[in-house]
Structure formats: C-alpha cells, structure tokens
Structure 1
Amino acid sequence: MRRAVILGVSAVLAAGALTAPAAAYGPDPVSDDYQAAAGAVVAAQQAAAADLKFGACPAGTRLKAPIQCGRVQVPVDYSQPQGKKISLLVSRLKASGPASARQGALLFNPGGPGGSGLWFPRLGQADIPAPTRQIWAASARAYDMVGFDPRGVGYSAPISCVKPSDYQHAPTPDPRHPTAKVKTRERARAQARAAGCLKRSGALLGHMTTEDLARDLDVIRAALHEQKLNYFGVSYGTYLGAVYAHMFPSHVRRMVFDSVVNPDPRGIWYGANLEQDIAFEKRWADWRAWAARHDKVYRLGSTPAKVMASFDKAMRKLAKHPAGGKVGPGELHAQAVQASYYDPQWVPFAYQLSRYLHGDAKPLTAAATPDPGSAKNDENSEAVYLAVQCGDASWPRDWQIWERDNSRLAKKYPFETWSNAWLNLPCASWPVHSSHPVDVRVPHGAGLPPVLIVQSERDAATPYSGALELHRRLAGSRLITEVGRGSHGLISFRNRCLNDRVDRYLLTGHTGPHDVRCAGHPLPAPTGAQGARDANAGRWY
C-alpha cells in the first residue's frame, strides 16, 4: 500500500495546527457533473451488452487456472463515453460451492491508490496456506472472487512518471531532518516528477480521480452481469468504496470497509497526510516500547528511549558506510515504516536492526536492498498514487505553505513527516486540472443497505477517527473495532471476533444490532534463532 491517508483532520484544523488549501473546499461535483454521470450509465449499459470473455491470465500475473482473466472496456473520459477507451484487466475465481449457494461476485481493492488487486482470487484456492485459506473459505464458497487492476495500474493502461531504470536511488539519507540543500533538491525532483507524469502518461493523467475509478467499478459490475455490487475495500479501497456508495447507493448489495480513509473532504488529501504523520509517530512509539520489553532477545535497549538511541546509532553508521553499498539511513527508515504499518513486521525488523548493530548486516541488506526487478511496478504504483491524490483535490502551490506546516509538525513528529512530504510534493506543481473532493454522505432512504466497517484503534496509515467519520456518513453502517492494536488491513489477521462477523455479514447481510469492540490480537512474540520469527504466526485467537 502506498501511503494510505487521512484522519481526524477536522479537529486539528479547527485548532490551527494544520493548513488545508482553500481550493480543497467546495461543492460536491458529482451532482453537477451530469455529462460524466450520464456517460457512466452508457458505459455500464455497453459493458453489460458486451460479451466479457474470460480465459488464461497474462503470464506475468502468475495466475493460473482455475483463475481466469478478462478485459472490460471503459471510457478514458466519462463525459465522452463514445470517445477513447482503455481496457481494465479483471481476474476471477468462480465460487467453489454449489450453484444454489452462490451469492454473486465479490470485488476487491487493496488500496494504494496504485495497488493491484489481481491476486485476490488466489485467496480462495485450496493450495494456499491453511490460515489464510480458513479466513476466506466461506466467501470463496459463496462468491466468485474478483480482482482487478484499476485504471493506470499494471495491466490496465499503466501510467508512468519516470523511467523505471531511473526510479530507484540507493542508498538514501535520513529523511527525518532535511537540510536546506536537501529541501532544494527535493523540490526540484518533485517538479520534474510532475512534469514527467504528464509527458509519460498523456491524456489519461487528467482522468484518474477516485470518481473515475468508482465509475469504472460500476462498469465492471455491469460487465459481470451483477445487478448489485459486493465489494471489499482495504485502506484507499475504503475511500473508493465510499465514493461509490455515494454515487451509486442503490447499486450496492454488501460492502466491507477495512482500515478506513477519513472521507471528510476537508482532509482530501493535503491535511490528511499531515494528520497521518502524527499517527505514525505514535505507532513508531508502540514498536519501540515492544522492542524494549524484549531487550533480552534483541539487546536494543531496555527502555523506549534506549531503543531509539540504538536506531539512531544505526542510522549514523549507515550514513557513513551503507550496508552492502545500497542500504543507507533511508532504507533502514523504510523498514521502520513497514513495521509501523504492520505488527507482523515487528519481529523481522527488530531482528534486522539487532543483527546489524551486533556486527551482522546480512539480514538487513537482504530485506532492505532495493530490488531492480520491482522498479517498474513500484514506479507505476507511485505514479497512480500521485495521479489520484493530486487529481482528487487542489493542493497548496506555494512552497512556503509546505515548509511552514511540515517544519512545525516535524518538531514533535519527525519520524514520517518529511518523508511523507517528499512523496506528495509533486502535487504542488501538478500539470493537469484537479477536481473537488466528494462530500461522501449517504442518508437513510438513499437505497444503501447496511455496510460493515472494521478498524484497529492505533492504525497509523488510516487513523481510527476516519472509521468514526465514515460510520457517521453512511446511514445504517456498523463498526467493528479491534481494541488497542494498530495493524493496517485487519482481515489478514486471525481474530475470530472480527473474522466471524465479516463472514456472517458477507453470507447473510446481517451487521448485528450494535457496534462491536473486539479484543486485540496478541502482539508478536519473538521466537526462533535470535527472535527471528513471530510465535503468533498462523494461530487463531
């Protein structure tokens, strides 16, 4: 997942801590954009009438029978449905249960924006590891499991901003405290990246908003001959689902929102990224406290402050002598960010850091050295991330606003602030018109059935306040909270309290009469040589 965003922005803005650009506020364009709305109807009708043929998936997907793939045509510009079209690659595994038990297709988006969901049908196959197979077994019997590459991603008219061969730069410096020279360099890089996006992506770049992706989702629904959409979205996929629910409430049958982007338009997307920086600082503190509790295993320090000192020591060492020539402070920081996203990464990251500080750099270099083989996909993913976020809303064009807000924030929350700023800075010079954020609201009586929201309390990528906000905006929704935990993407965890309720909802449509708070999954427990593995892996709780 690319930096999945948002949250709690409203209260912070009111306090004057963050600044969102005035242009990000405005009327919801959905009701005003009649041409695009009409074009979406035409495109869906055309897709329903077309003969969607499923066959072998492209070799590069590594998806083999019984999974099949097909292509769905969508307009580049929905206001011109008869104009230029692109094709989206869709993957499908048919429901394994009897025909009488089939409940339609379940579409999945993993987030990003920029993530490919083609792999989703793999979760329904019998040859995957038992714990994952158990999580998805009930859904795989009842639903055709459907994944897809959204527009601009992978096999669906991929866009680009820079040559993949020029994308990876390693080793990279510590991103937490940039000098004036670094800031000047990053500003130049961001301007070049924005210009490169237009040069390498062409007309599609101006039609990459979440609204465009939501219309695509409805065309895929129609192409599959489904009267109603069943949808599972994770991270940014929740925002895509929320916008779809706002635009097409009567087309929804079931929807699960896992790790929720805050849909408040005041945070889309500049203020959201600033708010995310605060949450990552807290999550980084969670890992340091955990590592301190396991000091006998990792010898990184018996207090969070001492663990921080160990991390800083490693950052200084790598600045002087990058491990393997490619792993510098920036690469170590990226590993720390992954640990802040997902607590299954706590054990391997602690192990890598510990071994490096005690004279063995091999685990760190194996994990953190950039893979040239992934450069093309990684660059494409980042290009889509920028195209969607920069296109969804206007961002500040004045560098002084970025300098002021991020400098102020980094004094107290340095862990992720400037790294996040550099990722998003191309939006300051975005070369195509930006839209207005959708004011997602679906009241009672709009035709939206009850939907299910699942969220951990300490998620940094999509903080908890976002789930509360979406809950308020989607009438009749139910919220399941994992208490005291912070991993991102909860459906991958084997928490019966949560998984059983998701299964029940997908199979019956019942959300339950009340919101539910589930006990958190056990924190990772180091085991194996030097604590290299997590004792909780594969266990239900």
Structure 2
Amino acid sequence: MRAVAKCGVLTALGSLVLSALVTVPADGATADGGATAALGTAARGGIREARGVALAAAHAAGAGIAFRACPKTEMLPASVTCGIVEVPLDYAEPDGRTISLTVSRARASGTAEERQGALVFNPGGPGASSMYFPLAAGLPEWKRIAKAYDIVGYAPRGVGRSAPLSCEDPAATLRAPTQNPTHPTEAYKRERIAEAEAYARGCAENAGDALPHYNSLNNARDLDVLRAGLGEERLTFMGASYGTYFGALYATLFPSHVRRMVFDSAVDPDPRKVWYRNNLAQSAAFERRWEDFRTWVAKHDEAYHLGTTAEEVQRSYEKVREGVERKPAGGKVGTGQLQGVMLSAGYYDDYWAIRATALSEYLKGNPEPLISQASPRPEAAPDSENGNAVYTAVECNDAPWPTEWRVWDRDNTALAAWAPFETWDNAWMNLPCAYWPAPRQHPLDVRTFPGQLPPTLILAAERDAATPYEGALELHRRLAGSVLITERDAGTHGIAGSANACVNTYLEDYLLRGEAPARRAECAPHAEPKPVSLEPSDSRAGLPKRGDLAPRF
C-alpha cells in the first residue's frame, strides 16, 4: 500500500503542476489552441507558487491527516475527530516557514460501497471557520449526504487555531455603547479615519512579514493541500458566500482536481469589483433587504404595532434609534449596537420575528429584549476580533483599494443618500484597506472553458443582500458548464440544506448522483417566517444562535 500511495502522490504532483499551466484566462483561446493564454494565467497565479502547491500537496498526501479526539477548545462531540495539515506560509518558498491548519471530520455513516469520499465545506467570511460543519451529519437535511461523504470542516489560515491573526486587543470589540450615524458629520468621519489607520497599523505590527500571505489565492492553494491530505484525487467542495470566491479561484487554478463543487450564495468574481465595488453593491442590496424586513413587519402589525406600511415601520425604527442615541439601552446598546443586531435581519429571515419583537417591546417601554439581543458578549470577543482581522487582511491583500479618502467619501455619501441602512457601517469596516501597509494583489480572472471542469452547481437567493444575485449570474457566465439554481423572491444568505425542499433536492441530486439540470432551474421561495407572540417568555428569548454579524461575504 505504501508503494501504491507513493505512485499516486507522484501522479498527483505531475497533474497539479500541469493543471496550473493549462488554465485558460479571460483573454480566451489563442491561435495556438490556448497554450499562450494558459501560460499567462499560470504566471498570474504564480508559477513558483504552483510548484510550491505541488510540493506541499505531495507531502500532505504522503503524510495524511492523523485524526484524533478534538481539543476541548473546539467544543465538538466525540463523533467528530480533528487533525492538522501543514501548508507553506508562502507558496513561493515551500521549504520555508509552514503553518498548521486545523481540520475536523465526521466519518460517512453509510457502507463502504456507499461512501463517495470527503465533502469539504467553507462558510465564508473571510474569517469564518467550518470546524463545526461535521455536526451537520446529524441534521435531517444532511442525513443522506452524510451517509455518502465524510463531512469535513477546517479553519482557514489565520482563523481559530490555524496560525491565528489579530489586529487589536479583543477587548476593543466590547466597547459599548457606540454611535453609528447613517449620515456622519465631518468630525465623526475624522474619528473613523484615525481608527482605520490605527487598525491597519495593528495588523502590520502583530502579523509582521506574514501579513501579505493572508489572501484568497493562498486559501485556494491551501484547499488543494487539504484535498491531498485527505487522500482525495479530486475535490468535492461546497463554499458559501466568500467560500464561493476562493472556490472559484480553485476551479480556475486546479480544474483537473475538481470532482464536484457547490457555490452557495456566490460572490461576484469580476476582478473589477473585488473588493471595493463588491462592498458598495452589498450596501445597496442590504437597503433592498431591509425594506423586505420592514414590509413583513408591516404585514404583521397586529403582532408588533410598528406600522402598517414599510415607511411607518421605518419611522418606528428611527424612534428606537433616537431613543438609544439619547440614552443607551441598559447602558450598553447605542446606535452602533442597534445597527449590528438589526443587520442580521438582512442576512436571515429567521431573525425577523425576534428582531421585530425587540423593536416593539422597546417602544412599549421594555428595553430588555433589545438589551439581550444587542449587548456585546465577552465570551465572543476573541473570535470576533480574530474574524475581523482575517476579513480585513484577506480583502485588503486581495486587490487594489482607493487610497484617497475623498474617493471613499464621494462614493459612500452618494450611496447613503438613498441606501442609508448599511452604507457607512460597511465603509468603516473596510476603511483600513485605504491605509494598508502590505502590497496589494491584482485579482485572478476567474474563468474556465468548456471541457475543463465537470458540471458545478451554483445556488442563489434572488434577494440575497450579502452576496447580491448579480454575482451568481456572473459566476455562472464564467464557469463553463455550471448550473444555476435560483430561489425566487427570497433573500436568505446561504440556502443549501435549509428550509427549501426544492433547493435541497437539487443539492442532493448533484452531490449524491452527479445529476443537475442543463443550465438553470428555479425554486419557489421558502415559507415566510411566522410572527411570534409578545408574551414575556418569547420577548425575552435568548441570544441568537448565529451570533453577531458584520457585513461580510
């Protein structure tokens, strides 16, 4: 068996280098059958880096991943085991410093004949971990998939215990109350500029010369080393949100290593939009989704008494904003915390009822639900700070950003004039990229041509705010042979394995049998959430399961 494995490693080594060299870029085919264009893509992806991936993957395939009981810090049950895979910090220097990525796995529950390999998942961010993903094996929606696949999660570089990145003291995330004006004054803007400059310096000071290596191309390369470590000749992968972006980079760099890929809630991969313009588009989409929430609340005015139209609900919301600006709720919830907790209603409509309840109760004189939902949570501070650091480093490293404040001010002022809900909050989160000390990359042009990839599956909700639907259309155009499944008139971010049986059927057909429609299909929206009673036991419901959210992909 050792000799066979070694032979397979050598084969994988050769095919990995070849796949990096034969990828065809956006320029299209040339007179020599695309070879010249292919070499251009390898150069942009990095010929030295391609060699580094090949070497790292060969080493990982030979070593494998030793799965054992998970550390207690992961808080995972005994049914899930954990291991590590070593990857180069810099793929151009594969013999240099390495970092360890943590990996989790739940073995396929079916027979050996039913097993199809490993299904690797990334939930997005940048800055999110999927170490929890093997727990999906116990959910009814994933039962059949979990029979066929080992369910594998991991923490990408910089996240969790995978060479963790930090840019500031986690206690800074607990500052409260804070204010977050939708139309900031010049004095407030100067304060936020100073904070952004300080944050960028903190990232550089803490990361040192490792800072440039936290980027999407390296995330894609890491994924191929993980594939090899798992013993998979070809990768079965599902990426959600930002996970779709570096998943698409993977498909472009390593098309011969793709078995099946699911892109759930796709980021627009157009290099001209990564990442500055994508964030502007995101803020515009959140305004539309915020209106969807207010329209639903108005429909259930008998439960919430916040108004019978979206406009009336907005006025009620402004009353809450004015109230916590004058006197922060519980001494902890100002307009900044209010904005943060209401943002989750733009991501997931299963938050609509609890958020509407908090607004309603506050205006009735009971601030406790809002305090419970919006107050900073000390136990979440380290993970939150780590996630923000990785998010910032990856997006700032990935692409050029405007470096003049006047450009940010002009674009966000114009957008906030008609989309005030999330525009400036999103701008402040990304502003460190204007002062970023590390070199910026130029995004790789995601594109494949007929015959390079097996069919891939794209899932998208038509009214998704975090990854607007236009991104799914763009990815569909760029990945030859891809299939787009659209959930019409819905806006939940991340729709695989959730409330829509139609979407789940397409997902299972694809992952279990490799079956998919010719090019596109549609699903009706999942059912709208039901309003809840305003009895005290409901209005004082516990903290949301998904935790605090920032505007990420």
Whether TM exceeds 0.5 here: the answer is yes
Counterpart for residue 96 of structure 1: 109
For 2:263 and 2:438, the matched residues in 1 are separated by 30
Counterpart for residue 87 of structure 2: 74
Counterpart for residue 403 of structure 2: 397
Whether 1:302 and 2:308 are equivalent positions in the alignment is yes
For 1:408 and 1:28, the matched residues in 2 are separated by 37
Deviation at 1:31, TM superposition (A): 4.1
For 2:533 and 2:148, the matched residues in 1 are separated by 39
Q: Deviations over 1:282-315 (max 9, x none)?
A: 1111111111111111000111111111000010
User: Which residues in structure 2 correspond to 1:346-365 (within 5 Å)?
Assistant: 346-365=352-371
User: TM-score, length-normalised on structure 1?
Assistant: 0.91
For 1:73 and 1:514, the matched residues in 2 are separated by 38
8 Å Cα contact 2:303-2:533 kept in structure 1: no
- The alignment partner of 2:153 has SS state of strand
- Could you tell me which of 206, 210, 234 is aligned with 1:204? 210
Q: Decide which moves more: 30-39 or 355-364.
A: 30-39
Deviation at 1:528, TM superposition (A): 3.4
CA-based RMSD: 1.4
User: Which residues in structure 2 correspond to 1:324-335 (within 5 Å)?
Assistant: 324-335=330-341
Q: Any stretches of 5+ residues in structure 1 without a counterpart?
A: 1-26, 126-132, 535-541
- The alignment partner of 2:265 has SS state of strand
- Which residue identity lines up with residue 287 of structure 1 in the other structure? F
Whether 1:522 and 2:527 are equivalent positions in the alignment is yes
- Which residue identity lines up with residue 224 of structure 1 in the other structure? L
The higher relative CO (CA closer than 8 Å, separation ≥ 6) is in 1
- The alignment partner of 2:209 has SS state of helix
For 2:182 and 2:44, the matched residues in 1 are separated by 42
Counterpart for residue 344 of structure 2: 338
- Could you tell me which of 141, 164, 175 is aligned with 2:170? 164
User: Which residues in structure 2 correspond to 1:403-418 (within 5 Å)?
Assistant: 403-418=409-424
- Could you tell me which of 190, 199, 207 is aligned with 1:193? 199
Counterpart for residue 485 of structure 1: 490
The verdict on how the C-alpha distance between 1:74 and 1:32 changes in structure 2, with shifts beyond 3 A counting, is: closer
Deviation at 1:64, TM superposition (A): 2.2
Deviation at 1:181, TM superposition (A): 1.0
Deviation at 1:530, TM superposition (A): 4.9
Q: Deviations over 1:12-67 (max 9, x none)?
A: xxxxxxxxxxxxxxx86754611011111111001111142110111111112121
Q: Any stretches of 5+ residues in structure 2 without a counterpart?
A: 1-39, 542-553
Deviation at 1:443, TM superposition (A): 0.6
For 2:367 and 2:459, the matched residues in 1 are separated by 38
- Could you tell me which of 136, 140, 148 is aligned with 1:134? 140
For 2:263 and 2:433, the matched residues in 1 are separated by 27
- Which residue identity lines up with residue 345 of structure 2 in the other structure? A
User: Which residues in structure 2 correspond to 1:168-179 (within 5 Å)?
Assistant: 168-179=174-185
For 1:166 and 1:105, the matched residues in 2 are separated by 39
8 Å Cα contact 1:30-1:247 kept in structure 2: no
- The alignment partner of 1:225 has SS state of coil
8 Å Cα contact 1:28-1:436 kept in structure 2: no
For 1:143 and 1:32, the matched residues in 2 are separated by 31
Counterpart for residue 85 of structure 1: 98
Counterpart for residue 466 of structure 1: 471
- The alignment partner of 1:366 has SS state of helix
- Which residue identity lines up with residue 435 of structure 1 in the other structure? Q
Deviation at 1:173, TM superposition (A): 1.0
For 1:177 and 1:290, the matched residues in 2 are separated by 26
Counterpart for residue 39 of structure 1: 52
8 Å Cα contact 2:64-2:231 kept in structure 1: no
Deviation at 1:240, TM superposition (A): 1.4
8 Å Cα contact 1:298-1:530 kept in structure 2: no
Counterpart for residue 452 of structure 1: 457
Counterpart for residue 512 of structure 1: 517
- Could you tell me which of 121, 143, 153 is aligned with 2:134? 121
For 2:313 and 2:180, the matched residues in 1 are separated by 17
The verdict on how the C-alpha distance between 1:29 and 1:321 changes in structure 2, with shifts beyond 3 A counting, is: farther
Q: Deviations over 1:380-413 (max 9, x none)?
A: 0000001110010010111111111111111111
- Could you tell me which of 261, 276, 279 is aligned with 1:270? 276
- Which residue identity lines up with residue 175 of structure 1 in the other structure? P
- Which residue identity lines up with residue 455 of structure 1 in the other structure? A
Deviation at 1:493, TM superposition (A): 2.0
Q: Decide which moves more: 398-407 or 484-493.
A: 484-493
Whether 1:49 and 2:54 are equivalent positions in the alignment is no
Whether 1:290 and 2:323 are equivalent positions in the alignment is no
User: TM-score, length-normalised on structure 2?
Assistant: 0.89
- Could you tell me which of 421, 426, 442 is aligned with 1:420? 426
For 2:154 and 2:274, the matched residues in 1 are separated by 24
